[in-house]
Amino acid sequence: MKAKNFFPAKKIISTLVMSTCVGFIAPASVNALPVAEAASAAAVLPDFTDLVDKVGPAVVNIRTTEKLQHSQAGNALEDEQMQEFFRRFFGMPIPKQNPAPKGRKQVPQQEEEVPRGVGSGFIVSQDGYVLTNAHVVDGATDVYVKLTDKREFKAKVVGTDKRTDVAVLKIEASKLPKVTVGDSSKIRAGEWVIAIGSPFDLENTVTAGIISAKARDTGDYLPLIQTDVAVNPGNSGGPLINMRGEVVGINSQIYSRSGGYMGISFAIPIDEAMRVAEQLKGAGKVTRGRIGVQIGEVSKEVAESIGLPKAQGAAVVRIEPGTPAEKAGIQDGDIILKFNGQTIENRNDLLRVVGATKPGTKSTITVWRKGSTRDLSIVVAEAEPDKVAQKNDKKAKKEQANFLGLVVADLSDAQKKELPDGGVVIETVDGAAAAAGLQAGDVILTLNNADVKNAKQFNAMVSKLDQKKMAVLLVRREGISQFIPIKP
């Protein structure tokens, strides 16, 4: 059985193939509907024209660019599909190298701004706040927002949250058309919805379908809306709209074996997206709670063997030292059944309810242990936040960046517990390091096979490198480690 593949609905290199269909015209005598019946059947079909007129002006096209060395820019579009494949399935891009031909000296290269991808978004306030997907703007040097009236603005990335795939942009304009935000908790399976976006960079494209399911567990921090609306690369970040002209979701993922639409797409519920957006607008990041446990599902067999009435809850498989879970007395093998009185049906329920709890909150957690339940008191801690999505300070980079183009910092306390052998986290990246595919938030473990302990030691190691030779870093991103060569 083939594995299920979930892709961000992002622009990929594609070839449009035109085909011609040959058919036949049925004789008039073969079961033709009377005119009155045909008109009646057409009358019950939904008409989306008014919805498109109402919401369309607030839907935007988003294009992103990336600054590369001149010789790399020529290959950027060719590499985009392969880069997306590696990003999605292995957690980091393949190294982008540009070795000089043998015997030829490398000459200084100029930066060139090249297209990186396209997506969609929608305006949520008349003063220029725009919602889209985090993966649409991830790694971009510049972001441009184009309105239906052909005006184009350079946008500021206010903040991104990779865990929910939500991003907030800001353009400098006023009296803009805006969408009406609906209530995603009230949607129903079978309800008609439409999507407006830029599939394959075809702006202002409208597709329609129904809601297939309300809450699919395809992500840790929120259940997604499943639809059969046609969503393709470039639709990412566009609105999912109900028959009242309200946005109920942000189109985010497709289920596909080919990278194109196959009848199943997913959208982020707008209620969750707006909660994330408010935090991004206020602080540029999202604050979440954590208790410090690794958890798994509870199978029917396990439930029967431990006397649990039914298969529910989250099974504790590991407790991180020094965390609220350890202090509260949670043990390996406990089944977490409730959190602050809210029933936990599966592991994702626990992740969501704890993540939504304000750090510092004293909570009650109910566990199943040795045939009975017990209540434990726990104080929720703060989860490691995503990096704040802001432009790097040029003066700081000029003063602090080493010749590889990196500004690094020591690991946080949480990262040190996960990586006891040390390392440094990348704060800003430019130059040769950016061209090699390194990103802010990556953790550098070794440099030329030598262990990296802290930022001071790493910068001292870099200062002693031969600037004419390639350096090799062992980099960890989202739990995956990979060697990345950097050629200055």
CA distances from 60 to 1, 5, 150, 347 (A): 39, 27, 10, 36
232 is in an annotated binding site: no
Judge whether 185 counts as a catalytic residue. Answer: no
Per-residue buried b or exposed e for 405-423, using 16+ beta carbons within 10 Å of the residue's own CB = bbbbebbeebbeeeeeebb
Contact by Cβ (8 Å): 79, 171: no
From the list 138, 161, 165, 349, the catalytic residue is 165
Contact by Cβ (8 Å): 241, 195: yes
- Report the residue count for the chain: 488
Contact by Cβ (8 Å): 213, 228: no
Judge whether 236 counts as a catalytic residue. Answer: yes
State the DSSP H helix or E strand holding residue 267, giving kind and residue range, or none if neither.
Answer: strand 265-269
Judge whether 135 counts as a catalytic residue. Answer: yes
What string of H, E and C letters represents the secondary structure of 294-343? EEECCCHHHHHHHCCCCCCCEEEEEECCCCHHHHHCCCCCCEEEEECCEE
Contact by Cβ (8 Å): 148, 53: no
Q: How far is CA 277 from the centre of its chain?
A: 14
- The rounded distance, in Å, linking the Cα atoms of 20 and 27 is 22
Structure token digits, residue 24 = 């036949």
Q: Count of alpha carbons within 13 Å of 352, Cβ hemisphere only? A: 19
236 is in an annotated binding site: yes
235 is in an annotated binding site: yes
From the list 120, 198, 236, 265, the catalytic residue is 236
Structure token digits, residue 451 = 């262990």
CA nearest 230: which of 202, 192, 195?
195
Point out the annotated binding site for substrate.
135, 165, 234-236
Residues identified as active-site: 135, 165, 236
Point out the annotated binding site.
135, 165, 234-236
